[in-house]
Amino acid sequence: MEKKQIAVIHGPNLNMLGAREPGTYGATSLSEINESLRRKAKKNNAEVQIFQSNHEGEIVEAIQRASGNCHALIINPAAYTHTSVALRDALLLLDVPVIEIHISNIYKREAFRHKSMIADVVTGQISGLGSAGYLLAMDAAVEMIGA
């Protein structure tokens, strides 16, 4: 049986999780989140490709590479959530489930964080459940693609 491919893209500053504003983002590092995602994918007979960048263009290119090469995409665009039409346009290339994830509840933070530029083009959004939100996103992706 062919394993389903799930792409995970982490945006800017997420490489600093665990050290960056732990009161807002928790103490879990990105490498710990990634390892949890790998374990969950393996348990569900899926494979996960994980990418992180602090550069908008590199994230756009990662989305473009995912087009036609994955069965689902989980993305935490971080600060680009609120500013990037380029990420939104790239996501329109995908014809697979796309789950937007945020560690903090963007709707309980500064007003400028309340608007997601990609909310209307993703399948669903998870916000405010800490690093556990990534595992919930993986569960949802697996369910949607039947992995």
Residue-wise pLDDT for 8-19, tens only, equals: 999 999 999 988
Which one is catalytic: 10, 71, 80, 102? Answer: 102
In this prediction, residue 18 carries a pLDDT of 86
Judge whether 79 and 12 are in contact, CB under 8 Å.
yes
Is there a catalytic annotation at residue 102? yes
29-44 pLDDT per residue, tens = 999 999 999 999 999 9
51-64 pLDDT per residue, tens = 999 999 999 999 99
Local structure of residue 12 (DSSP, 8 states): T
Continuous segment of H or E residues that includes residue 83 = none
The identity of residue 131, as a single letter, is S
Is there a catalytic annotation at residue 134? no
Is 1 a residue whose pLDDT tops 60? no
Domain harbouring 91, CATH code? 3.40.50.9100
Burial class (CB in 10 A: 0-12, 13-18, 19+), 86: middle
What is the residue range of 50's domain? 4-145
In this prediction, residue 42 carries a pLDDT of 95
In this prediction, residue 112 carries a pLDDT of 73
* Prediction pTM value: 0.93
Which one is catalytic: 10, 25, 71, 134? Answer: 25
Number of domains, the chain: 1
Rounded Cα gap, residues 118 and 99, in angstroms: 10
In this prediction, residue 111 carries a pLDDT of 82
87-100 pLDDT per residue, tens = 999 999 999 999 99
